[in-house]
Each structure stands twice: as C-alpha cells, then as structure tokens.
Chain A
Amino acid sequence: MFPKQEVVAMLLAGGQGSRLGVLTKKLAKPAVPYGGKYRIIDFPLSNCINSGIEAVGVLTQYQPLVLNEYIGNGQPWDLDSMNSGVQVLSPYQQINGADWYSGTANAIYQNMNYIERYSPDYVVILSGDHIYKMDYSKMIDFHKSNNADCTVAVIDVPLEEASRFGILNTKDDGSIYEFEEKPKNPKSTKASMGIYVFSWNKLRKYLTEDAENPNSSNDFGKDILPTMLNKGERMFAYEFEGYWKDVGTIESLWESNMDLLDPKVTLNLRDESWKIYSRNPVMPPHYVSSDAKIQNSLIADGCNVYGEIDFSILFSGVNVAKGAVVRDSIIMPGATIEEGAVVQYAIVSENAVIGKNAVVGARPESIVDKGEWGIAVIGDNIHIGNSVIVAPKAMIDKDIEGEV
C-alpha cells in the first residue's frame, strides 16, 4: 500500500514529433536538447517538483532509449523518493493481449493501475513538448475553488494566430461552453496549452467509458473533453500568464532557443526560486581563446571556443575552431565546427562535425526567394565534409563527403 498522493501527474511523452525531422529520428520529442543544457522534458519535470507534485508517470512509446536513460531514477529532479517519484510507463502486454497506446487517453487508461496506487484526488495531464514555467499547484487550487471536474490551462494568443490552436470559449465565470479545434473564425483568443487537471473519480469514469467506445479515437482533445462537456460536467479554463512556447517545429524550436538571448523575453532560467533541473554533464568550464569573439550568446561547460560566435547557443562540449563562424545557430552537445566553416541560421545536432570551410545555412537577407529560406538542420553524428555547402532549410541525415 502506497501513501496517498493528493495529486499525480501524467506526462505524455510518447509522440514522435515528426515535424522535427532528423532531430527526432532516434529520440522522442521530449528528449530533444534545448537552451544550452536542458532537454524539453526538464521543464514539465521541474515544474512538477517545484509545484510539490511528487508522483509523475511518464508515458513513453516512440524511441524511448535516450529518454529512459535521461530520466533514470529521477534523482536530478528530486523525483526519486522511496514511495513516489518519476516512473516511466511504456506499453506492456496484458492478459488479454498487447496494445500500443492508441491515443493520449488510451495511454492513461492503460496505466490506471499506476494512478490508483496513490489514491489521488486529482490527476494532472501534461505534455512533453512545451517550454514554460508554471506552478501547477495554483491551477489545482483554482480547480478546487471552482469545484470543477476538469480544468484546462489556457493562454491568450494574438487573434490572428488563434486559428492555429485549440480554442476554448468561456462564460464570464470562466466555465467552458465550447471547444473549437483550429477555428477559421475564432470567438476567443484562449488557446489550450494541453495541460489538464481532472478530479480523478470523474476522469476514471470517462476513461473507462471511452475505452469501451469502439468509435473513439481515445484522445483527450477529440474525445474525453467534448464528451465531458456534453454530459454537463463542470469544466473551467485556467488563464496562464507568462512564457509558453510549443517547440514542435524546427522554426519554433529555433525561435524558443533564441528567446533565451532576448532580454525582453520573460523566461528566466536563472531564477533560484523556480529552477529548471537537468542532468549535468561532467565537464570542465568552457574555454574562450584569444582569437575568439563572442557576442550575445549562451555557452555551456566543456566548450572550446576559438572562432566567432554571434547570437548563438552552444551546448556542452562543443568545439569551434579558429576562423570558424557561428551565427544565429544552435549547436548541440559534442558537435565540432572546424576551421573556416560558417554556420548560420542552423541547428547542428549532437556530435555532428562540420568540416573545414563548409558553409551551412544562410542569412535570410541573402536569399532572393524567401520561400527557399529556412533553418538548416544537421542530424546527430553526421559528418559534413570540407568545403561542402548545405543550403538553408536543408535537413541532412546522411554524411556528405567533401574535398579531401
């Protein structure tokens, strides 16, 4: 018998994140590196522990090796208590057969026994593809004070962008009367953040009914929430203010990284009261040589910088040789930029090597046809040969031989 936990969090981390292309070829989206030393999942996990949530189930399905290894026993996030902590939940064989998770709701349904161990009053559903700092305990308080059955976190988005999101229409008291998925003519600007608080007894009931419905796609947004609304359950929108960004595409991942270099952006990762924890590589401080030039950049431990770094993010253990130039780019752990190479508006993945005098990506102003421009992406462990030119927007998942 486990001691009761008032709140259990379930983190949906099984998605492929196909829009991230080569970045998620070998790892699940929540394990994608972010911000010079983090992985995306550090944000929801740190938010949980900072909010006082000590039981977190992480639902994995797609390419779980890196993610499982990274989460480990949960110690970096203090999620390694005796009777609680983080638990990786992968699909498993049951007495009646085996199933992959067929949808977000099904993933939770198949792991109800994990939730039941803690006899929680509330269950928080989170996703592993957003960068934000949020105190879930405030949202749970809001849920309690409304005597709600379900609370959905929403963020105010510009009206012109509202048609890209799931929009919630609410009454004056904050209660939800309508969901609209990507509406052409949005009635409100309250976009769902994919964060839900449920009273567990209600969620259990609806998950069980959903599982028995052969026509359901077993998805929270498409099935569970609309059904609950139709049945007249108390559903509220919780308005969140602060930095929140979906990093599901190359452009948004790049932008969100670059936001860390913009003093006007409110995401503060130096705040001692709401730290974002991560696994820390064992490396010495980074070295900046006499030939280096660094402007407005973020540089992690273990880097050796001999070249020019401008508006860029260098993860741990990156080497930038003399005469190399890195501008407006993200260089992930262990990558090497050799002498004379130029990397602009690019994401270079883990342990990739950019050969001498190679050119990766381009500045938007140097491209005539703007449709041709985009962030260039180099996959992990890829070798780009000497003097090779990689076009903007290219996504490279095979070595390219260059001049010898």
Chain B
Amino acid sequence: MRSNNVLGIIFSNLHEDLIRELTAVRTTASVPFGGRYRMIDFPLSNMVNSGINKVGVITKHNYQSLMDHLGSGKSWDLSRNRKGLYILPPFGNNDSEFSSRIETLLAIESFFKRSTEEYVLLTDCHTVCNIDYQDVLSKHIQNNADITVIYKKGLLPEKLFKPAVYEVDSTGRVTTMLINPHNASEYNYGIDMTLIKKDLLMELLYECKSRNALDFKRDIIQSNVSKYNIFAYELKGFSATITSIVSYFKANMALMNSNIRKELFNSQNPIYTKVRDDMPTIYGLGSLCKNSLIANGCIIEGNVENSIIFRGVHIGKGTKVSNCVIMQDTQIGENSNLSYVISDKDVIIKNERSLMGYSSYPVYISKASVV
C-alpha cells in the first residue's frame, strides 16, 4: 500500500542558466539523461514510489518538450481519476511572468487551496537520485518539524546557484543557515527539496508577499531558523546535482559504475519514463562495444567505448565513439571519429567527420544539427 498525505510540487524551469546549451529548446526538467530518461523522471518516480499521488509541475516557458514527455502522466501511474498529474503553466493576467520561487508558488494559490493534502514537498529537477520521501515524511513527523530541508554532505558543486548550507545539531535540527558561504570546505548543502505543512507554507508565502520579501531561501527558510522547527534530512548514497555541462557529463558517466546503477535504478523503486516501443538494440558483425550504457532501438555497427547511447541511435561502420553522450535518434555515418562529444537529439553526423573535445570541455552539438 502506498499513499500518503503529501502534495508534490516540481519546479521544471529553475537552473536553466547553468546548462544553457541543453536548455535552449527545453526545460531543465526535460533535459535527457542516462540513455533513456529526462531529468524530471527522477523526482516524479521518487514521488510516486513514495506514495505521493498528486503532483503539480510548475513551468513557465519552453515547455513543449516537457508536455510531450509527460503526456497524461500514464508512464508514472499518474493518469488517475483521483489525484494524478497537473501541469501548471502561467495563467491569468497578473503574476504571469513571475520570476521568484515565492511568486511562482503564489500564482498557483488556487491549486493549493483545492488540494486536500496536509503536506507539500517542493523539489527542483537538477538532482539525480533515488530517495524515499516517505522516510523524509516519517522523520518530519517524528521530529515534530515545521519544515524539513534535504541536504547532501560534501564539497559544494561548482557554480551551484545561491547554495544554502546548514549547521545541524545532534537531533538534526538546523541551528544556522548560510547562503553563499565564503569558504570552500565541506558543507551540508541544500539540494532544493523541502517538506512543509501546506497551511504553514501558505501563511509564509502571504507574509513574504506583504513584506515584498521574495527570496524563498532567505525569507522563508533562513529568517525562520530560530522561529520554527526546521530539520535537515541527509540524502545518503548516490546523487548528482547538475550545475554545468561538465557536471552533466560526469553524472552521465557515473552510471558506468554498477553499484551506482543498482542504487539509482533499484527495482523496488524503479525510475519510470515515457515508453517508446523501440525494438532491442542490434549489434552488427564487426561492432565493438566497451564499458557503455546503451538503450533500446539502436543499431551499433562501429566502435563504442565509455559512452551513453540513447534510444534510436545509429552508429555506422568504422565509426569510433568514445567518451560521448549521444542523445536519442542521432545518426552517425561511417568512419567518423567522436571523442568527448555531447550530441543532442536528432543530430546527423555524416561520414568521415571528426569531433574531439576534452573531459573538462566536452563538445556540444545542438539539437537536429547536421555535421
């Protein structure tokens, strides 16, 4: 039995500036990842696996690919009579071009009011992980917390936008919260996942609006550290927060580790995605494949090494692909050579092309380009 009293809210557009190449034609939520997924598959699947059956996805622009991916929510079991998936684009003529998290949440005030859930779980789409939100909720209730923030322990990911770091006492309660800490050292850094009672969230939102205080981290969390019971929940195990094209590349490559795959694609809590009905991948005579993750629907006739190959990719004879992320339906001709390349969807690379990047600077080829 899986169901609880939590409403899920996913912010689909935030952090786009960090990976501008990949988000030119899509939201952060719909960035392809790991051979067959989109970033939003992780928060959505985590929510569904944790018993959250009502999820609102907030989006404000570039959301065609997101809508296409989510459809009715069927692939996540969110196409339901009761509850289910709600896509929340800008609406009404005021506040429609909201820019802050607080304004965005105020703009869906009516969605909150119509929902009967007691708690709200807010999350962004830039972290890949397999997390049990039911456990977060149990600890939240056990701690008698007003707000629970989820954090990772370690060095701050490079370029993380306005990172929030927490000092936590032995009970797990947040004693101090810093935003943009000065020193480079190990921190308990927030990954933009917050659990809060819905009524408290609404109250804080109205209060912030009346004070024109529109920074979620500063005005809702930081300024309330002493006033409310704010607890921190540590996300242990594998996670990857995508803050740049290099960290995107590294997070994909991390999937070559079988322990990470077992953890992230745990069969008890699987990661769901849109179904495509591709046939299995065909390996031709003379193909060579080493240390790679390859999705269904591909034809591999050349050499593939240390690479992630998405659905429907064709790699021609004599072509060598190493250390690459090749997104869905890319067609690579014969006798080409690709190294450290991130190729977006529907790219065509003709015969005898050579593209070389470096681990700290992978070459990016934009959607539907012809090389």
Contact = CB atoms under 8 A, between A and B. Distances in A.
A266 interface: no
B283 A282 contact: no
Interface string A272-297: 00011110101111111110101111
Contact of A296 (B278, B285, B291, B304): B285
Nearest to A38: B279
A390 interface: no
B35 interface: yes
B327 to A, nearest CB: 12
B237 interface: no
A285 B271 contact: no
Interface stretch (B60-68, B148-156, B292-300, B335-343): B292-300
A301 B283 contact: no
B55 to A, nearest CB: 18
A294 B256 CA distance: 18
Contacts of B287: 294-295
B34 A285 contact: yes
B258 interface: yes
Contacts of B255: 284
B36 A289 contact: no
A140 to B, nearest CB: 25
Interface in B283-331: 283-287, 289-297, 304, 308-310
B279 A284 contact: no
Nearest to B312: A270
B277 interface: yes
A65 interface: no
Interface in B218-263: 255-256, 258, 261
A285 B280 CA distance: 10
Contacts, number: 105
A304 interface: yes
A299 B297 contact: no
Nearest to A296: B285
A306 to B, nearest CB: 9
Contacts of A36: 279-280
Max count, chain B CB within 10 A of own CB: residue among A269, A294, A295: A294
A37 B278 CA distance: 9
A298 B286 CA distance: 14
B293 to A, nearest CB: 5
B275 interface: yes
Contacts of A276: 277, 279
B293 A289 contact: no
Q: Determine the main DSSP class of B at the interface with A.
A: loop
B271 A280 contact: no
Contacts of B279: 35-37, 269-270, 276, 298
Nearest to B261: A284
Nearest to B291: A290
B281 interface: yes
Contact of A285 (B35, B286, B291): B35
Contacts of B296: 37, 285, 300-301
A294 B35 contact: no
Given A280-B275, A284-B34, A292 B289 contact: yes
Given A284-B35, A285-B36, A301-B295, A294 B280 contact: no
A295 B287 CA distance: 7
A294 B34 contact: no
A299 B293 CA distance: 12
B24 interface: no
Given A285-B35, A287-B261, A298 B277 contact: no
B27 to A, nearest CB: 22
Contacts of B275: 76, 280
A300 to B, nearest CB: 4
Contact of A282 (B74, B270, B277, B281): B270
Contacts of B36: 284-285, 301
A76 B287 CA distance: 32
Contacts of A315: 280
A286 B361 CA distance: 27
B294 A286 contact: yes
B364 interface: no
Given A280-B275, A292-B289, A301-B36, A286 B258 contact: no
B265 interface: yes
A240 to B, nearest CB: 22
A284 B282 contact: no
B156 to A, nearest CB: 28
Given A287-B261, A294-B287, A282 B293 contact: no
A275 B289 CA distance: 27
Interface in B1-37: 34-36
B272 interface: yes
Contacts of B290: 288-290, 292
Nearest to B257: A287
Interface in B155-194: none
B216 to A, nearest CB: 33
A260 B276 CA distance: 20
Max count, chain A CB within 10 A of own CB: residue among B294, B296, B309: B296
B268 to A, nearest CB: 11
B293 A287 contact: yes
Contacts of A290: 290-291
Contacts of A261: 282
B129 to A, nearest CB: 14
Contacts of B286: 295
B293 A284 contact: yes
Contacts of B277: 76, 275-278, 280
A294 B265 contact: no
Given A284-B261, A287-B258, A295 B283 contact: yes
Contact of B289 (A278, A284, A294): A294
13 contacts: A280-B277, A282-B272, A284-B34, A287-B294, A288-B292, A290-B290, A290-B291, A294-B287, A295-B283, A296-B284, A297-B283, A299-B281, A314-B280
Q: Which 5 A-B pairs have the closest CB atoms?
A: A285-B35, A36-B280, A300-B280, A285-B295, A284-B265
Interface of A: 35-37, 75-76, 261, 269-270, 275-278, 280, 282-290, 292, 294-301, 304, 309, 313-315
Given A37-B280, A76-B275, A76-B277, 12 more contacts: A270-B278, A280-B276, A283-B265, A287-B261, A287-B294, A288-B289, A288-B292, A290-B290, A295-B286, A296-B285, A298-B282, A301-B36
